[in-house]
């Protein structure tokens, strides 16, 4: 079975290598292991993820292509269907809707489409989904902030900056003695309300 998976992966990697760059997806080996890959997808235009590059860890099971690959986001992201903590993904084709005809490329394109069209009624991250449904404008600002923080190069001059968010993060770090990531999660989860974010860290 493992031989089938290896042959299939060699073919798929050749296809992705030839694939049109306009979709802004790519795949590379982690070391020399065909069963461990790293995918890259560009955030779709006209979304809070635009301009970001998101890295995805891809593990190929020995039973591939009869079973789906295991994927998770390495790049932190604020999205209803992706865990803001672990990067776990809620996408039907990675579970019970997988078909052997699908490829790593089609899954990466599906993930790109998921960034453009979230499914908040079938969430992986309930906190993000709640914000998406109840305070969409705040969700967009928060998702843009996470994208500019984690999915851009630090010296990229086109990075989006929200001075209000940055100030609140620094204040919460000093007040509660937590790191930036903990402060960002607390504020993001509480619609950037300092009092509620502080309470959540007590």
* pLDDT value, residue 21: 63
Q: How far is CA 43 from CA 50, 72, 112, 138, 197, in A?
A: 4, 16, 7, 19, 28
Q: Are 191 and 131 in contact (CB under 8 A)?
A: yes
What does the alpha-carbon distance between residue 70 and residue 96 come to, in Å, rounded to a whole number? 13
As a dihedral over the C-alpha atoms of residue 125, residue 128, residue 129, residue 134, rounded to 10 degrees, the angle is 160
Q: Are 51 and 152 in contact (CB under 8 A)?
A: yes
Q: Are 58 and 89 in contact (CB under 8 A)?
A: no
- pLDDT tens digits for range 100-145: 999 999 999 999 999 999 999 999 999 999 999 999 999 999 999 9
Q: Say if residue 42 is preceded by a cis peptide, omega within 30 of 0.
A: no
* pLDDT value, residue 2: 66
* pLDDT value, residue 138: 98
Give the pLDDT of the chain (202 residues) as one tens digit per residue: 568 898 999 888 887 766 556 668 889 899 888 899 999 999 999 999 999 999 999 999 999 999 999 999 999 999 999 999 999 999 999 999 999 999 999 999 999 999 999 999 999 999 999 999 999 999 999 999 999 999 998 777 778 889 999 999 999 999 999 999 999 999 999 999 999 999 999 9
Annotation marks residue 90 as catalytic? yes
* pLDDT value, residue 40: 93
**Which residue in 5, 9, 27, 90 is the catalytic one?**
90
Q: How far is CA 145 from CA 4, 117, 120, 121, in A?
A: 42, 18, 19, 23
What does the alpha-carbon distance between residue 27 and residue 147 come to, in Å, rounded to a whole number? 20
Q: Order the strands of the 70-73 sheet from edge to edge.
A: 25-30, 33-42, 53-59, 70-73
């Amino acid at each position: 079975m493992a031989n089938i998976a290896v042959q299939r992966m060699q073919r798929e990697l050749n296809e992705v290598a030839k694939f049109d760059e306009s979709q802004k997806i790519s795949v590379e080996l982690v070391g020399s292991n065909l069963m461990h890959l790293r995918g890259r997808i560009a955030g779709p235009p006209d979304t809070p993820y635009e301009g970001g590059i998101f890295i995805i860890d891809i593990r190929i099971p020995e039973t591939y292509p009869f079973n789906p690959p295991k994927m998770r986001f390495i790049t932190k992201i604020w999205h209803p269907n992706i865990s803001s903590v672990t990067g776990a993904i809620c996408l039907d084709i990675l579970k019970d809707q997988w078909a052997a005809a699908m490829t790593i490329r089609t899954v990466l394109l599906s993930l790109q489409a998921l960034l453009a069209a979230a499914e908040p009624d079938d969430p992986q991250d309930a906190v993000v989904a709640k914000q998406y449904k109840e305070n969409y404008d705040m969700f967009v600002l928060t998702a843009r902030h996470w994208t500019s923080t984690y999915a851009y190069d630090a010296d990229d001059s086109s990075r989006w900056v929200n001075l209000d968010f940055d100030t609140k993060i620094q204040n919460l770090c000093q007040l509660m003695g937590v790191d930036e990531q903990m402060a960002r999660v607390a504020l993001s989860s509480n619609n950037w309300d300092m009092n509620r974010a502080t309470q959540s860290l007590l």
